[in-house]
């Protein structure tokens, strides 16, 4: 598998946000398989901390984080920084209008983790062509 890197020396870091640990584990492996460094977050607070303290190349965001929370705030932050992300969700219809309007790539659940990661890394590959 070709390795994607943020730059010649920097590893490509991918933020993975999901409130379900088992899905997070699967995505973490898939990000590693793609030659990137996964940074995992189970909730908004963790995700925002990761975004602030690391140079992120791409992100996979679960839309609905339980207890009425959505990934909107993280998505906004990433969008402002120009970091591409995919919205990984089990319910595209119910998705918050606000989240939908953010314009991230939608990947419906369930999609194989390798495919989710590939979709998340697509913008980077294009950038490096």
Partner 1 sequence: MKRNIPSDNPSSGPVDQAHTVFDASAAQFMAQHGEDTFTGASGVLFEQAMAQTRMAICLCDPNLEDMPIVFANRAFRHLTGYDEQEIVGRNCRFLQGPKTDQTVLKRIRTALANEDVLVVELLNYRKDGEPFWNALHLGPIYNAEGKLIYFLGSQWDVSDVRAARADERHARELARELSHRMKNMFAVIGGIVNFTGRVRGIEAEAREINDRIQALGRAYETTLDDSHRGTVEVGQAIRAVLAPYDPDGTRIRFEGNGLRSDFASVSVLGLSLHELAVNAIKHGALGTDSGSVTIAWKRNGSTASPAIRIDWIEHGVGPQANAKQLVSNDGIVDRMLDMARGGIVREWHSDGLRAKLNIPLREHAE
20 part of the interface to partner 1, by CB under 8 A: yes
Helix orientation angle between 113-128 and 21-33, rounded to the nearest 10 degrees: 40
66 part of the interface to partner 1, by CB under 8 A: no
Min dist CB 82 to partner 1, Å, is: 26
Nearer to partner 1, 103 or 110 (CB): 110
99 part of the interface to partner 1, by CB under 8 A: no
- Applying CB under 8 A, the span of 1-9, 15-23, 42-50, 121-129 interacting with partner 1 comes to 15-23
Nearer to partner 1, 18 or 72 (CB): 18
- Give backbone dihedrals phi and psi of 89, rounded to 5 degrees, phi first: -145, 150
Strands 13-17 and 58-62: parallel
Among 22, 45, 80, 126, which residue sits at the site for partner 1 (rule: CB under 8 A)?
22
The string of DSSP codes covering 4-50 is PBSSSSSB-EEEEE-S-HHHHHHHHHHHHHTT-EEEEESSHHHHHHH
Min dist CB 42 to partner 1, Å, is: 14
Q: Which residue has the tokens 């906004």?
A: 76
């Amino acid at each position: 598998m070709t390795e994607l890197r943020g730059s010649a020396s920097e590893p490509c870091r991918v933020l993975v946000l999901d409130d379900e640990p088992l899905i997070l584990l699967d995505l973490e492996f898939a990000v590693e398989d793609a030659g990137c460094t996964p940074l995992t977050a189970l909730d908004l607070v963790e995700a925002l901390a990761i975004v602030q303290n690391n140079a992120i190349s791409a992100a996979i965001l679960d839309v609905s984080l339980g207890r009425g929370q959505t990934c909107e705030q993280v998505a906004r932050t990433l969008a402002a920084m120009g970091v591409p992300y995919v919205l990984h969700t089990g319910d595209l219809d119910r998705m918050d209008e606000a989240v939908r309007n953010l314009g991230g790539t939608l990947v419906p659940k369930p999609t194989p983790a390798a495919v989710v990661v590939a979709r998340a890394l697509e913008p980077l590959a294009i950038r490096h062509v």
